[in-house]
Amino acid sequence: MRYSFFASLALLLRTGTVLAKPVLHDIAIDKTLNARYGPVNIANRATFAVDLVRNNDYRRNGAAELAWTYAKYNKDPAGVHTNGNDRLSSGPIGAYNQTYDREYLSPVYMGEPGQLCWLDIDTGSGDLSDTPSFYLDGQEIYHPEKSRTSVDVANASWSITYGDGSYAGGGIYRDSVRIGNVTLHNATVESATAVSRSLTTDPVMSGILGLALNHSSTTYPQQPTLLDALRPVLEENLFAADLKYQDVGQYHFGYINQSSYTGDITWRTVLPHSGFWEFYIQSIHIGGDNVWRMHNWPVVADTGTTLLLLPTDLVELYWSFVPGAYMSDVYYGWVFPCNVTLPVLDFGFVDDHWNATIPGHYFNFQNVSDALCYGGIQDSMEPFGILGDAFLKALYMIFDMGHSRVGLASKKLLA
C-alpha cells in the first residue's frame, strides 16, 4: 500500500516538539467561535467555520519536518536528522499554528461535558486517537471515563506503524465530537493505550483531526469516519481550506466562501481508488524559465504536511534556477544562499487553461546558518507529490466529498 495514514477522525501526536501550553485560551476561544460562526441551519443542515492562527515565535527545523513526512507516508526516513535544532516556541498561542508554520491547531470538544482537545486539521489523515495518560507532557487529551456519553466499542481496536518504526494503538469509543458549532453524535474516537514516546513530546497538540477522502481507517473492524459523520450534517457536502502565509486562516465547512478567492474555480476529479485527495497537475513553469512543462503529475493535497514535496526531477529542476542551491547531507535537504531571491512556481491545467502562481518566498522555510536557508520544496522520493502548506497557502482549496473532486482557486495574497 502506497500510503500509511490514519483515516477517520485522528489524534496523532507529532514528534519532537516543545511548545508553550495555551493558558486561559480555551473558554475565550470557544465563545469567540460561537459568536462569530454560528451555524446556518437549512433543513437541519449547517455551515460553520473554524479559525486558524499562526504562532509567530516558532523555531523551524526543516529536516525534522521532512523526516516526519517520510514517516507519515511510510517511507524510511533513515539519515534525516535535526542537526540539534529542537522544535521550540514561545509566546501567546491563538488557534493555532503550532510548529514551524505547519500545525494549524483548532479547538475541538469531545464527550459530554466537552473536553477540549487541540487538533491539527489534516486532509492527509483520518482517525481520532489520543495520548496515553502515562505519556502526557501537558497535552489536553480525551478521557472517555469522564464523558457520560462515551461507549466502549467491544472487540474493536486500532493501530498504526510508521516508516520510522514509531507506533500507536488502543481502543475505540463512540462519543460526541463538537467542531465549530456542530456536534456529531456517536463519532468514532480512538483512545491510545500504547504509543511510541517519540510521538508524545508536543505539550500543546492533542492530535490530528483527519479529513482524508475515503481511506480505510486503522481500526479493526472498520469504523465510520469523521467525513461519514459530517456528510448528513453539512449544507453542502464539502469543506474548504483558506490557509494563509504568516496570517490568520480558516476552514469552511458546508459552504464555499465567495470572498476568500478570486477568479474561477477549477475542479479536478480525485483519482479513483486512491482514498486521498489525489489529482493530477498538468503543467508547471518556474520563474526565470520560458518553458511550460506538460505532464500528468499525481499529487496529494495534504494540509497536515508543511513542505511541498515533489518528484526528484521537478525538485532538481526548480533548484537549478537558484544560484548556489544544493542538496545538503548536513541539513538533509535542499539548501540555498539566503540572499538569493527564489523563483515563483506556476502550475496549471491544460484542459481548462487555468493556472496559478506560488510566490518564491513561500519556499524559504528557515535559516539553517547565517548564510544558508532550508528550502520549502524537497524531494518526495516517489513518483507523486505532496502539496503541503507551503503550496496550499497561496490557494483557496475546496474538498468536495459529494463529487469526489477538489477545487482550486487563486486568492489575494497578503504577503
Catalytic residues: 122, 302
> From CA 166, how far away is CA 248, in angstroms rounded?
32
List the one residue out of 208, 212, 214 whose CA is nearest residue 102.
208
Neighbours of 383 (CB within 10 A): 11
Contacts for 187 with CB less than 8 Å, ≥ 6 apart = 9, 128, 174, 175, 176, 177, 224, 226, 229
| Cell numbers that stand for 347 in this block | 502550475
- From the list 340, 215, 355, the residue with the least C-alpha distance to 288 is 340
Provide CB contacts within 8 A for 335, sequence distance 6+. 325, 326, 328, 368, 372, 373, 374, 375
Beta bridge partners of 345: 286, 358
| Strands ordered across the beta sheet of 308-310 | 354-358, 345-349, 278-286, 293-301, 385-387, 308-310, 377-379
From CA 408, how far away is CA 312, in angstroms rounded?
24
Amino acid at 41: N
Number of other residues whose CB lies within 10 A of the CB of residue 283: 18
| Nearest CA among 243, 304, 253, 301 for reference residue 50 | 253
Cα-based distances in Å from 140 to 23, 47, 93, 196: 11, 27, 14, 18
Burial group, residue 163, by CB count within 10 angstroms (0-12, 13-18, 19+): middle
Query: Which residues does residue 115 pair with via DSSP β-bridges, in sequence order?
Result: 110
DSSP 42: B
Q: How far apart are CA 82 and CA 87, in angstroms?
A: 9
Which are the contacts of 198, defined by CB distance < 8 A and separation ≥ 6?
A: 15, 16, 166
